[in-house]
Amino acid sequence: MTGIDTSAISGISAFAGIPDAELSELLGIADEIEIGAGERLFAEDEPADAFYVILSGGVDLSCRTPRAEARLLGHSGTGAALGETSLLVDGLHSASARATEPTRLLRFATTRFKEMLDASSMPAFRLVLNLARTLAARLRAANDKLAELASNPATPAAEDDLDRLRKIFFADWGL
């Protein structure tokens, strides 16, 4: 339980269109947490067992490249949702989240949320619908980006040029 008023979350897209009474029901399974600047919220490859909403503050999201270099993916601020896919599928966090300033969040434990779904809770269904819309929009943007990369001749695979260099200088004109 939290002492959070529904007005604190009604403007957040994950809760859009959910009536106040149902928001209160959802807030009933949430915990309010606070982390300090530099503190880690969760780490890449850890089990994803909760969904978070940032009430104030902000976190950096990063992941490791195949060469184990840290790469910053982006920054999430007030109103952003984190780890939402954990409500839908079991798995690991695909990125790490670290607070860049003192940050307050709502934590929705996956297990408790699934219990609401099992109980055919309307607010849980509405939240899932909102998450589905968000994820569908992200998928569409990713598809558009892929199509753009595939059709842009200025960015061919780097391997192509080296293969061609070898062919020209050794096979064609190796003399």
Partner 1 sequence: MSLLASAQVYFDRAARVMGLDDRIRAMLVNPEREVLVNITIERDNGQLATYTGYRVQHNSARGPMKGGLRYHPQVDLDEVIGLASLMTWKNAVIDLPFGGAKGGISCDPKTMSSAELERLTRKFVQKIHDVIGPQLDIPAPDVNTNATVMAWIMSEYSKIHGFNPAVVTGKPVELHGSAGREEATGLGVVHVTEEALSDANRTIAESTFVIQGFGNVGSNTARALHTRGGKVIAASDVTGAIFNPEGLDVPALLDHARKRIPLAEFPVGERATNQDILSMRCDVLIPAALEDVFDAPMAEKVQASLVVEAANGPTLPEGHDVFARRGITVVPDILANAGGVSVSYLEWVQNLQHVTWSIDQVYTHLSSKMKTSYRSVVGLARERNLDLRTAAYIIAIGRVGRAAVLQGV
Binding site for partner 1 (CB under 8 A): 161-162, 164-166, 168-170, 172-175
- Ramachandran class of 169: left when φ > 0, alpha when ψ lies in -120 to 50, beta otherwise: alpha
Q: E strands, 49-143, where?
A: 50-56, 58-64, 70-77, 81-82, 96-99, 103-109
Beta carbon of residue 13, minimum distance to partner 1 (angstroms, whole number): 44
- Rounded to a whole number, what is the distance in angstroms from the first to the last CA of the chain? 79
Residue with smaller CB distance to partner 1, 89 or 175: 175
Q: At its nearest, how many Å lie between partner 1 and the CB of residue 49?
A: 46
Contact 4, 33 (CB under 8 A): no
The CB-side HSE value for 129 (13 A sphere, CA atoms) comes to 10
Residue 166 CB, shortest distance to partner 1, in Å, is: 6
Beta carbon of residue 175, minimum distance to partner 1 (angstroms, whole number): 6
Residue type, 34: E
Output 132 or 165, the one with its CB closest to partner 1. Answer: 165
Q: Which residues 6+ apart lie within 8 Å of 164 measured at CB? A: none
Q: For residues 67 and 118, which CB has a smaller minimum distance to partner 1 in the complex?
A: 67
Q: What are the C-alpha distances in Å from 41 to residues 28, 112, 114?
A: 21, 19, 22
For partner 1, give the closer residue by CB, 148 or 170: 170
Nearer to partner 1, 137 or 168 (CB): 168
- CB 71 → partner 1: shortest distance, Å? 25
